[in-house]
Amino acid sequence: MDRRNKKMSVITINKNNFQEEVLKSEKPVLLDFWASWCGPCRMVGPIIEEIAEERTDIKVGKVNVDEQQELASQFQVMSIPTLVVIKDGKIVKQSTGARPKQQILEML
């Protein structure tokens, strides 16, 4: 399959792949900190999936805060959903709460 036509999908980020997928990424990374029990997270989820499919210039990852408490505390995630944009291993934008797609795109 030709990779250029392949749609990007959301990567599940955990402490084992965080260094490789996020900190060493050549592309900006949009991280979605979420949990299955979180209503607003379920609203943002499909938007995040859409952005991952549409934008090949960025990497999109999801961090389940229940399973990855270490990463959640590293980013001082107090409420979810929290969206974080990381470029060159550094946080450049962070926002909490459900956002419409346009606002999420503006973070990038």
Active site residue 41: yes
- Choose, from 41, 52, 83, 104, the residue flagged as catalytic: 41
Q: The pTM is what?
A: 0.91
- Per-residue pLDDT at 4: 45
Three-state DSSP class for 21? Answer: helix
pLDDT in tens, 45-104: 999 999 999 999 999 999 999 999 999 999 999 999 999 999 999 999 999 999 999 999
- Choose, from 29, 38, 85, 98, the residue flagged as catalytic: 38
Active site residue 38: yes
